[in-house]
Amino acid sequence: MRKPIIVGNWKMNKTIAETKAFVEAVDSSVSDSADWGIATPYLALQTAKSLASNLIVAAENCHFEESGAFTGEISTSMLKEIGVEWVILGHSERRQYFGETNATVNAKTLKVLDAGMTPIVCVGETLEEYEAGSTKDVCKTQTVAAFKDVCPKCIEKVVIAYEPVWAIGTGKTATNEIAQDVCAYIRGVVAELYGQEAADKVRIQYGGSVKPEGLKTLLEQPDIDGALVGGASLLEDSYIAMIENLG
Ligand code: 13P
């Protein structure tokens, strides 16, 4: 039985003061129906971590090297020092705007796992790829590449987020049927690599215009184990509505 995991990806939103207000308002509402988390900008991580008792606090990225001449980057040790154990990797915005490639996502996945932390690895096709009918090919390529050299024991703790780029921030959610079909396919790719037993333990989230009212039916899909939520995770009321809708 896979416990659902819902993580708010705040992207480049919220100051430290706003983060403090959010965690103070939301943390005590977190229920046991799922693992609930927020991924915040680096600067707010320590504040979020120090105030959260129930929410998982995740970074939105990290570097694959331990230290060195990488201006503007953050290492896993720096995150661990403040108690952050979760990192989103390979988000489509990082792939699209910041030169993230399948190779860097793989290097970061290996580094995060080596540090004993948990990656949330994002995969998903662009609108062009969706319209060309290559959704599954793209997801397979990204999944296989991200987990190259990941050891069989490690794969079980990994979370995968399927985020069709055309559904991110557009209000166009993939239907539950599409999301289920692709998430099942991704699980099949993991099964090809690591066997069915391991694949059955991997949690796969859907992300892209998820709203509180759609969360429950989304999670009823057999291969969808959670959500990576952008816009709807930013307001306290909306986040609490997600928790309440899940019961
Ligand atoms: P939205 O929920 O705003 O579409 O963002 C999805 C996302 O990119 C989460 O990582």
In contact, 215 and 6? CB cutoff 8 Å: yes
Q: Yes or no: say if 49 and 84 are a contact pair by the CB < 8 Å rule.
A: yes
* Tens digit of each residue's pLDDT (9 = 90 or more) over 143-181: 999 999 999 999 999 999 999 999 998 888 889 999 999
Cα gap 36→33, rounded to integer Å: 9
Distance CA 211, CA 188 (A): 27
**Atom number in ligand 1 closest to CA 161:** 10
pLDDT < 70 stretches in the chain: none
- 163 labelled catalytic: yes
DSSP 85-133: -EEEE--HHHHHHS---HHHHHHHHHHHHHTT-EEEEEE---HHHHHTT
| Nearest atom in ligand 1 to 231's CA | 3
Chain segment 64-77, per-residue pLDDT in tens: 999 999 999 999 99
Side-chain half-sphere of 66: how many Cα atoms within 13 Å? 2
Among candidate residues 60, 91, 93, 100, the one labeled active-site is 91
Residues with CB under 6 A from ligand 1: 9, 91, 163, 168-169, 207-210, 228-232
3-state secondary structure of 150: coil
Catalytic choice (60, 93, 100, 163): 163
Q: What is the pLDDT of residue 59?
A: 99
**Is residue 73 among the annotated active site residues?**
no
What's the pLDDT score for residue 173?
Answer: 82
Whole-structure pTM value: 0.98
